[in-house]
Amino acid sequence: MPIPDFQSIMLPLLKFLEDKKEHTTKETVEHIISHFHLTDKEKENLLPSGKQSIISNRVGWARTYLKMGGLLENPTRGVIQINENGLNVLKKNPPKIDIKYLDQFQDFKNFRTVKKDEQNEIQLQQDITKETPEVAIYNGFQQIQKKLAQDVLDEVKKNSPKFFENLVVDLIVKMGYGGSRKDAGKIIGQSGDEGVDGVIKEDKLGLDEIYIQAKRWEGTVGRPEIQKFVGALQGKGVNRGIFITTGTFSKEAKDYFPRGTKIILVDGEKLAELMIEYNVGISTSLVYEIKKMDSDYFSEE
């Protein structure tokens, strides 16, 4: 079965603690894995960050929400235990426990409410979601990045070919090629040969060079354009080049692998992603710093 969302874990977790004993995080996770009959593959599935398993993360958030609802406690670090409130809830035999159910408890309402100022309070509008906050943040971040990439690409297409040439130089320098901005600016566009727009240093010492073709257009770059570029490279006795466009590449262009020549294709989508990654035409709007408790600090051993 699929990995349960953290709300689906809440009731089985609380029932596991019904024995009133103290249980470690590891014991709790193992019980939930067994309860939901998760496979080895499902147990090993990681969060997008790659730093924690999905099931451990969801059990952790289920535990946190139950604790904030006042249904369980932490007698010692890394250990949980049901309390009288939790036992009373189980006596009522609820069909499920989720965020909506926990909203009946004042402790939980306090947990979900933050003060805006001394006179007003705002209620955090947290959707009843199947994802834990980390995954929700990651997914939201990806959506923002995707929209930003499209906005960046649209703006690039509105500007002149000269602007696009400067943009390419800025990006290449930010990526570590071309030496200084001044050197790269001189090198790019100096050729004037058909099929080649410029040449840059591969490294700051200029030990090798890479040739560039840059096209600012809306359409699709086909195989003939790539073949022309390869021919120009071969005419200069070089075997590496970068073809950058604000458009797209046809399947035939992508499938073209000329023998002895290495060509990197950068379409509009990839160009925008690189601009975002290397902060070309990009500024930071907001930074959310995700912190976690340093368990070593609280250890007296």
Each residue's pLDDT tens digit, 105-140: 988 887 776 544 444 433 444 444 567 888 888 888
pLDDT recorded at residue 111:
74
| CATH 1.10.10 domain range(s) in the chain | 6-116
Domain 160-277: which topology?
A: Trna Endonuclease; Chain: A, domain 1 (3.40.1350)
pLDDT recorded at residue 179:
67
CA nearest neighbour of 200 among 239, 237, 169: 169
Structure tokens at 37: 């009959």
For domain 6-116, which architecture applies?
Orthogonal Bundle (1.10)
| CATH 3.40.1350.10 domain range(s) in the chain | 160-277
Cβ neighbour number for residue 217 with a 10 Å cutoff: 13
Structure tokens at 235: 């005419």
Stated as kind and residue range, the H or E segment containing 220 is strand 220-221
Q: What are the residue ranges in the chain where pLDDT is below 50?
A: 115-128, 193-194
DSSP letter assigned to residue 46: B
Task: For residue 131, give every residue at least 6 positions away whose Cβ sits within 8 Å of its Cβ, in sequence order, or none.
Answer: 5, 139
